[in-house]
A and B are shown apart, each in its own frame.
Chain A
Amino acid sequence: MLKVTGVYKTFNPGTINEKKALNGVDLSLAPGDFVTVIGGNGAGKSTIMNMIAGVYPIDEGQIILDGQDISRLPEYKRAKLLGRVFQDPMMGTAAGMEIQENMALAYRRGKPRGLSWGITKAEKKLFREALRTLDLGLEDRMTSKVGLLSGGQRQALTLLMATLQRPQLLLLDEHTAALDPKTAKKVLDLTEELVSRDNLTTLMVTHNMKDAIHVGNRLIMMHEGRIIYDVSGEEKKNLQVKDLLAKFEQVSGGEFANDRMLLA
């Protein structure tokens, strides 16, 4: 499904701010894989997501998705294959536009946008049904501006929008990190529900080690721009948070276990 081979990325090369973000990443995902990604600050978790999505060009390597080499495609052309949810709940929706308008935009992901009407009657019905599954009452507020929604509501909506048109790969970049624990749980439950409903191949970056263990069928750990640990199946199910912490300490000499990880 997804095949990442030897991807390197250095930000600000040749300057004092030079940062080797990715140091030869190899990653292969089978269809239906739900992979959680953990790692410390600057480990390259978000960078690998952004490389796959095409936010920045890669320096070296190859990214193949659904049999298509997307390594050099601009971001907007890769969108057809990808559903994305960002850490910042403000990022995934257009605040000044209506809920149904946002959904109509997402429903046309990767399709040419012409001069036919931006939203049809049939779509409105479809969107209403989809919103009902969120159980947030948004189906009765379809003409409200998204800016009026809470962070959790916006993130749930973004998730729904990302899966409205089945993506080949769903990229979740710490999409629950900015939410309060209760809302985060709700959004995570929704994530599992949508992923299993459509059998989506998914990459989910998280800072929460419990989530990383309990969600998905495979877990990878990144450190200094490399994948240093890759576990799936029974072995992953039997993981404990303390195992992961030990693993972190082993590779990084303890520096990894920052406050955020311990609190999580």
Chain B
Amino acid sequence: MSSFFLAIMGAVSQGVLWSVMALGVYITFRLLDIADLSVDGTFALGGVTTAVLIVKGMNPILALVIATLAGMLAGLVTGLLHTKLGIPAILAGILTMISCYSINLRIAGGASNTPLLKADTVMSFLNDLFPALSKTATSLIIGLILTAAVVAFLYWFFGTEMGSALRATGNNERMIRALGVNTDTMKNIGLVISNGFVALSGGVVAQSQKYADVGMGTGTIVIGLASIVIGEVIFGNRFNFAYVLCSVVMGSVLYRIIIAIVLRFNFFTTGDLKLLTAIIVAFALSVPIIKNKVLQKSAGRKGR
């Protein structure tokens, strides 16, 4: 039982750390209505950049800042490919994602794995201050602080004039252009912020797991979508924007708990996770349509 409890605790702290990524994906997927696949590349970019900089002796917090900037730059590349060169958003994201793989390998000096075994991390700082805390607890605390800051930022930003214009761009592009907004700029800003947070998330995950891997971003977009749709299905899309953002965080945590429980069954291995995640996303995204069909059927029966 206690091992089960530990697994759940670990899942919760992982979920919180990854929720920063999910919040980033939320900006593009829900607010801009773009499925941005660059996040698979920028999550690893954030992780690898952070790890390499820490190994070189940089302060782990500063390393996170640089990783975030790197992610923002990659997001800008996707944005420019899409808005200025007219490449469909999904393809622009794929191009950035693929390029990031090569760039990440370069940053890591050709090594696919960059360990942080003895290096300082944000978590080890906190552990030095409070030695009584477990590894999981420190990750959870760091994650909660970071997530709270990101949620607060997003709540503020999307309430501003610029943030409102960005939301309107995803909502009705022609309308907001007629109201004098350069929608290309708005999409670029959205992609930059989104990928910045995704890279930041990659950076803290790398510090928490004490290594970065060039392959650590594979499936990021699907995990991000899973978090968003689980949050929406469980908590609904109601109340204000802060509630919606928190539901994304809760979705990310629930996703990790689901995975932890699934892995308790000996039948599944970690290799099955991506398939399971894809099934969760496909199921959650199709819930509204299935619901409609069921409602129509029952309405039809009543009619007869």
- List A residues at the B interface (Cβ < 8 Å): 53, 74-77, 79-80, 82, 84, 86, 90-97, 101, 104-106, 108-111, 113-119
Contact = CB atoms under 8 A, between A and B. Distances in A.
A79 B179 contact: yes
Nearest to A82: B178
Nearest to A114: B161
Contacts of B176: 94, 105
B124 interface: no
Contacts of B159: 117-118
B181 interface: yes
A86 B179 CA distance: 13
Given A94-B172, A97-B171, A104 B164 contact: yes
A111 B164 contact: no
Given A77-B180, A80-B180, A113-B181, A108 B168 contact: no
B237 to A, nearest CB: 10
A141 B184 CA distance: 32
Interface in B50-69: none
Nearest to A171: B178
B174 A91 contact: yes
B102 interface: no
Given A96-B171, A97-B171, A75 B178 contact: yes
B160 A115 contact: yes
Point out which of A110, A113, A117 has the most chain B C-beta atoms below 10 A from its C-beta.
Answer: A113
Interface string B159-202: 11111110110011011111111110000000000000000000
B168 to A, nearest CB: 5
Given A91-B174, A113-B165, A108 B160 contact: no
Interface of B: 157, 159-165, 167-168, 171-172, 174-183
Contact of B164 (A84, A92, A105, A109): A105
19 contacts: A79-B177, A80-B180, A91-B172, A94-B171, A95-B171, A97-B167, A101-B164, A104-B164, A105-B165, A105-B168, A105-B176, A108-B179, A109-B180, A113-B160, A113-B164, A115-B160, A115-B161, A117-B161, A118-B159
Contact of B162 (A77, A84, A86, A114): A114
Contacts of A101: 164
B31 to A, nearest CB: 9
Point out which of B164, B168, B172, B178 has the most chain A C-beta atoms below 10 A from its C-beta.
Answer: B178
Contact of B179 (A90, A91, A105, A117): A105
A76 B183 contact: yes
Contacts of B171: 94-97
A82 B179 CA distance: 9
A113 B162 CA distance: 5
A79 B175 contact: no
A109 B179 contact: yes
Contact of A94 (B157, B163, B175): B175
Contacts of A105: 164-165, 168, 176, 179
B160 A116 contact: yes
A116 B162 CA distance: 8
B292 to A, nearest CB: 17
A238 B182 CA distance: 45
B180 A94 contact: no
Contacts of B181: 76, 79, 113
A118 B179 CA distance: 14
Contacts of B175: 91-94
Leading 3 A-B pairs by shortest Cβ distance: A79-B180, A118-B164, A94-B171
B222 to A, nearest CB: 24
Nearest to B163: A118
Nearest to A78: B180
Contacts of B179: 79, 105-106, 108-110
Contacts of A118: 159-161, 163-164
A53 B181 CA distance: 13
A111 B179 CA distance: 9
B180 A114 contact: no
Contacts of A106: 179
A53 B167 CA distance: 23
B229 to A, nearest CB: 17
Contacts of B177: 75-76, 79
B173 to A, nearest CB: 10
Given A113-B161, A115-B162, A117-B160, 20 more contacts: A82-B178, A84-B178, A91-B175, A93-B175, A94-B168, A94-B172, A95-B172, A96-B171, A97-B171, A101-B164, A105-B176, A105-B179, A108-B180, A109-B179, A110-B179, A111-B180, A117-B159, A118-B159, A118-B160, A118-B161
A76 B165 contact: no
A53 B168 contact: no
Contacts of A93: 172, 175
Point out which of A76, A86, A104 has the most chain B C-beta atoms below 10 A from its C-beta.
Answer: A76
Contact of A97 (B168, B180, B183): B168
A114 B164 contact: no
A108 B177 CA distance: 12
B81 to A, nearest CB: 20
B266 to A, nearest CB: 45
B239 to A, nearest CB: 11
